[in-house]
Structure 1
């Protein structure tokens, strides 16, 4: 969390904040106005960086002491700030900003003695003949004969898939996985997802079955369309990059196109055609298909290890967090579910760091008991 706040201030100083990042920083300043006051003084120094020498460092320290006097909770935090001799006032200013976060005081939260820390998750590959392989790797590559070529997998398992019709790859909560199919198509599966696929593609199409979420970079083959089948719809392409989210817990199945073109075929016969930058959202109850322009980054950022929320409801956001951190989430106040959130969070952060960011930006608090997160006002 400290890194994120520091990043926002650094971007602000250089006039490089995006609209959503500016909103995120504004919300933080509304919650902690004393930080905005210090940031404005640091900005004044940053704009005159060429004119500053050691005096600039002294001024920053003075401003920090003033802030300490105003906010008693910033005193005596037990952390030491060591100033290094660095070249240039830019580095000095970054250290000064860092001080703000080292001595910060955020709202208190209740966390049980059993922390919801990420633990290694095991991906399983179930072959069509019933044999199951527990994978200790985060990716697999199939050659053109349907054999696993990843050197980490034991040799005796390398030919098991050969000749079998359909395999099932299961990615648990808290993990993701990359699979390269025999045709060269690369599939990245998100947490709590399952993919069924053949060892080798035969016939006039390439068909896989998805439950959950996956990003597809499909190898081009105009003679054999690639088809992703979900519970309510099929996505058909010949070679392109796109993301499909089809979790049973979600009200919509979303197909987001990064590049190329795709056809969406719903179970009631409707066909939706997508262009790059568009998304098709199919209502799983009514079958209605809505195509719209979207910020693609917010739907595919997970493949780069980020949560990117763009005007997303707290309810939707917490479902993603629950899948990734393998926790249950209970809202004690229903109105919090509709709160909207803008921002970026790193998926490698501990769950408490992620929740602390939400506490900063919304009028909410949380409590963790065992593996359940309680959200309340």
Structure 2
């Protein structure tokens, strides 16, 4: 029979993976009302990045790992029953804390001096031939691959040019990925410009086909498509298919959101869902496709708010607090925890610079008296 502690350990894993439903979140919140439990929880979630890395350390001595954990966390006597049943957490926590606690004094200093900073220009380029370039680390202005694909890096923007001699051999897809806390701009071989928001990616060929220009996208991206009536530009993203000749539009297609949204800024675009149902958008309109049933809905968009991220701002127009906080989490690379689940549905309007301190944004929301925030390490608790 599973014990309550074993169940809580599963809830914490689901929290780290962003998979808690409302009922599970309420159950976790009740458990966290005990100071001992909250202390342990905060020690776990503030080490999340290390825990993710820990899965690569298969040869760890788990007995030694638990010995170190018991010494570094709370009183061993108080924790022994919880630890005994947290089987589902043994591998990530044991290894994660084994790495961290090799120098406890240094770890304490790191925790005390942790600051939350806004995102910056950062992306990783994965070439179809297997080459990988971290664009924040590699300062080269010109990058040429074995397949003669030439990449020019200028002012934190990439320009992709292909060698026409080998164009018939370069149809495999390359990928540019922005991590959480990153953004980047890329110019494709046809002259199309694409801005990638945090936690996004774009797959593209070195040379487009003769009859179309097709890419695959996920996350949030802004497209300024170069006009070519003979070769329509096609974007595929999680059940949404967009077809344009030359236009500007924003695509929001995050894996952890229940809909895909395309917003047209200029020109026209044909949008289809996975069932083949289509709509033609005009400027100022946006289409929502529900992932659960592929239903489509067209509505009027606040263009300034939708594309604010591309222009260096956050403009939240009467947005749910939960949606606001998860947008901030992607940009500032923080974890969000709701101590009061009812506040998720509160709506706020905010217009601030994207590159400022997160504390200033939270202060604006706190000023309404409808929500409050506690920051500890890289975890923000919303009450």
Does TM, scored on the shorter chain, surpass 0.5? Answer: yes
How far residue 148 of structure 1 moved from its aligned partner, in angstroms, is 1.4
Q: 1:238 to 1:139 in 2, by over 3 A?
A: farther
**SS of equivalent residue, structure 2 residue 207:** coil
Q: 1:273 to 1:354 in 2, by over 3 A?
A: same
For 2:294, the equivalent position in structure 1 comes to 287
For 1:116, the equivalent position in structure 2 comes to 116
How far residue 179 of structure 1 moved from its aligned partner, in angstroms, is 0.3
1:345 to 2:348 alignment:
no
Q: 1:249 to 1:186 in 2, by over 3 A?
A: same
Write the distance in 1 (CA, Å) between the matches of 2:224 and 2:142. 14
How far residue 368 of structure 1 moved from its aligned partner, in angstroms, is 1.4
RMSD: 2.9
For 2:125, the equivalent position in structure 1 comes to 125
Contact kept in structure 1, 2:121 and 2:184, CA below 8 Å: no
1:199 to 2:203 alignment:
no
Contact kept in structure 2, 1:167 and 1:196, CA below 8 Å: yes
1:300 to 2:307 alignment:
yes
Structure with higher Rg: it is 1
For 1:333, the equivalent position in structure 2 comes to 340
Write the distance in 2 (CA, Å) between the matches of 1:324 and 1:140. 26
* Residues matched between the structures, number: 262
Contact kept in structure 2, 1:138 and 1:178, CA below 8 Å: no
For 1:316, the equivalent position in structure 2 comes to 323
For 1:149, the equivalent position in structure 2 comes to 152
For 2:134, the equivalent position in structure 1 comes to 134
Write the distance in 2 (CA, Å) between the matches of 1:247 and 1:363. 28
For 1:255, the equivalent position in structure 2 comes to 262
**SS of equivalent residue, structure 2 residue 362:** helix
**SS of equivalent residue, structure 2 residue 366:** helix
For 2:86, the equivalent position in structure 1 comes to none
How far residue 140 of structure 1 moved from its aligned partner, in angstroms, is 9.2
Contact kept in structure 2, 1:241 and 1:258, CA below 8 Å: yes
TM-score normalized with structure 2 length: 0.63
Write the distance in 1 (CA, Å) between the matches of 2:370 and 2:302. 26
How far residue 139 of structure 1 moved from its aligned partner, in angstroms, is 12
Write the distance in 2 (CA, Å) between the matches of 1:234 and 1:180. 21
Contact kept in structure 1, 2:192 and 2:223, CA below 8 Å: yes
- Using CA pairs under 8 Å that are at least 6 residues apart, name the structure with larger relative contact order, 1 or 2: 1
Write the distance in 1 (CA, Å) between the matches of 2:230 and 2:143. 21
**SS of equivalent residue, structure 2 residue 351:** strand
For 2:278, the equivalent position in structure 1 comes to 271
From 157, 176, 181, the equivalent of 2:183 is: 176
TM-score normalized with structure 1 length: 0.64
Write the distance in 2 (CA, Å) between the matches of 1:191 and 1:221. 29
For 1:356, the equivalent position in structure 2 comes to 363
Map 1:17-56; keep pairs closer than 5 Å. none
Q: Which runs of 5+ in 2 are unaligned?
A: 1-110
How far residue 265 of structure 1 moved from its aligned partner, in angstroms, is 0.9
Q: Which runs of 5+ in 1 are unaligned?
A: 1-110
From 226, 233, 252, the equivalent of 2:233 is: 226
Write the distance in 1 (CA, Å) between the matches of 2:339 and 2:132. 40
Map 1:233-252; keep pairs closer than 5 Å. 233-252=240-259
